[in-house]
Amino acid sequence: MRSKIILVLALIMGVVTTVLFFNYMKQFDIETVANQNLTTVVAAKEKIAKNEKITADKLMTIEVPSEGLHEQAILSMEGLAGQYATADIEVGEVLLDHRVQNEKEETIFVSKKVTEGNRAVSVGVNFVQSVANLIEPEDRVDVLFTDTNVKDELGRVETVTLLREVRVLAVDRRMIETKDEAEPYTEYSSVTLELSPEDSVKLVNAYENGSVHLAIHSRIVADVSNDTDE
């Protein structure tokens, strides 16, 4: 009988000790978080679409742990209103410096347009290769490559699609598309594309070993909502 009482008491003490331990650890975790260094940053209160003008009502400030904070995180709302998003920014996402730009920066710094992990690479083009100089910044193009050094027995060369749907960052030094129809036409001789590091090497190699042409994709998005089954 006595041994049973001791066993019951031991079990009760074990339960009490476990509860006290977990309460202590929970309080310890709360104190740890409370004492952690926090930094105030700017985040999106609403979703901001690419190329959308940023307004103050779409922004908020939040506190995040200082440790591991992205070096390009924006810490103040000052000067943000009136700038433009260079990519889609989701609700609650911390704004990074390279995700916003003003109109002046868009016309000066191509590095502000290059998305993380990619590169800006320029190639020389003539009137024909550039689709009669009709390519504009933010167009999407295919890169066609003809190896002029390789011909078949009939003297014919082969053309292949080297890259597909590549983003155009600039034509010559112009980094924004023509908005005014009255703006004087200027012929250009180079196009700057946004590519991965691997595709950058591929493009330069093709340019040095043959002929490169660009083909423009349509900017019109097909409306499939009206499609009906017959």
Contact 99, 112 (CB under 8 A): no
Q: What is the pLDDT of residue 144?
A: 97
Beta bridge partners of 199: none
Residue 198 has pLDDT above 50, yes or no: yes
Domains within the chain, CATH numbers bracketed: 38-101 (3.90.1210.10), 111-216 (no CATH)
Residue 43 has pLDDT above 90, yes or no: yes
The Cα 52–Cα 79 span in angstroms is 16
Residue 194 has pLDDT above 90, yes or no: yes
Backbone Cα Rg of the chain: 29
End-to-end CA distance of the chain: 86
User: Which is nearest to 211 in space by CA: 162, 164, 175, 177?
Assistant: 162
Top-confidence residue, 180 or 87? 87
Long-range contacts: 26-33, Cβ < 8 Å, 24+? none
User: Which is nearest to 205 in space by CA: 158, 159, 145?
Assistant: 145
**For residue 135, what are its two tokens?**
């390519």
The Cα 211–Cα 154 span in angstroms is 19
Give percent of the chain with pLDDT exceeding 90.
42
Q: Residue 149: CB partners within 8 Å, gap ≥ 6?
A: 209, 210
User: Which is nearest to 98 in space by CA: 87, 112, 88, 85?
Assistant: 112
Top-confidence residue, 23 or 202? 202
Which DSSP state fits 112? G
Residue 42 has pLDDT above 90, yes or no: yes
Q: Residue 126: CB partners within 8 Å, gap ≥ 6?
A: 189
**For residue 45, what are its two tokens?**
């209160």
Q: How confident is the model at residue 221 (pLDDT cuts 50, 70, 90)?
A: low
Q: Which residue reads 């901001």 in tokens?
A: 48
Residue 59 has pLDDT above 50, yes or no: yes
